[in-house]
Structures are given as structure tokens and as C-alpha cells.
């Protein structure tokens, strides 16, 4: 467990800007969804924007770190679509 924590801390230090950008976008996403609570179309558009940002962020992050790998790009797209589906069920019943 200690090795895992050390690895995570090294990754965060190496890519501090990337992770701060993702966390900041997540905070703005949560704030925007709370701000427009009840407006289903606006909430869905905000959700689409955040998921698109997440996919682009993931692709950028891995291109900078390891280079272009189609498998990783597809993984980020798949995870983004799963998050979209799950949050649509939760936010927009």
C-alpha cells in the first residue's frame, strides 16, 4: 500500500498542472450543475461539455506522457461515455 501511495504522489508531482486543471474543471462542473438545477437541457449540455473536456484532457495527458496510443484514446472515450450514461441517469431522471 505504501508503494502505491508513493507512486501516486510522484505522479501528482510530475503532472501537477494536468491534475489541477482536471480538478478545477470538475469543481466548475459541479458548481454549474448546482447553479442550473432543474433545467434539464442546460444540465445535459454542461454534462456533455465536461465529458468532452475529460476525453480531450485524457488524450492530451497521455500524448504528452507516453505518446499516441489508440487503445488509451478508446479507453478515455469509453470511460467518458459510461460517465455520461451514469450521470444522465442520476442528474436527469
CA distance 82 to 65: 24
Q: Quote the cell numbers at residue 8.
A: 501516486
The CB-based long-range contact list for 67-73 (8 Å cut-off, 24+ gap) reads none
Provide the pLDDT for residue 78.
Answer: 94
Per-residue model confidence as pLDDT tens for the chain (93 residues): 888 888 888 887 888 888 899 999 999 999 998 999 888 889 889 999 999 999 999 888 888 888 878 888 899 899 999 988 888 887 666
**Which residues contact residue 83 at a Cβ distance below 8 angstroms, ignoring those fewer than 6 apart?**
51, 54
Q: Among positive and negative, which fits the CA dihedral 11, 86, 45, 37?
A: negative
Amino acid at each position: 500500500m505504501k508503494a502505491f501511495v508513493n507512486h501516486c504522489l510522484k505522479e501528482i508531482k510530475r503532472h501537477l498542472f494536468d491534475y489541477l486543471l482536471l480538478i478545477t474543471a470538475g469543481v466548475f462542473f459541479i458548481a454549474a450543475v448546482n447553479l442550473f438545477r432543474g433545467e434539464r437541457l442546460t444540465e445535459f449540455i454542461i454534462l456533455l461539455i465536461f465529458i468532452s473536456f475529460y476525453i480531450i484532457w485524457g488524450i492530451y495527458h497521455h500524448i504528452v506522457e507516453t505518446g499516441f496510443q489508440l487503445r488509451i484514446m478508446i479507453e478515455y472515450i469509453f470511460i467518458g461515455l459510461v460517465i455520461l450514461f451514469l450521470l444522465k441517469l442520476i442528474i436527469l431522471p
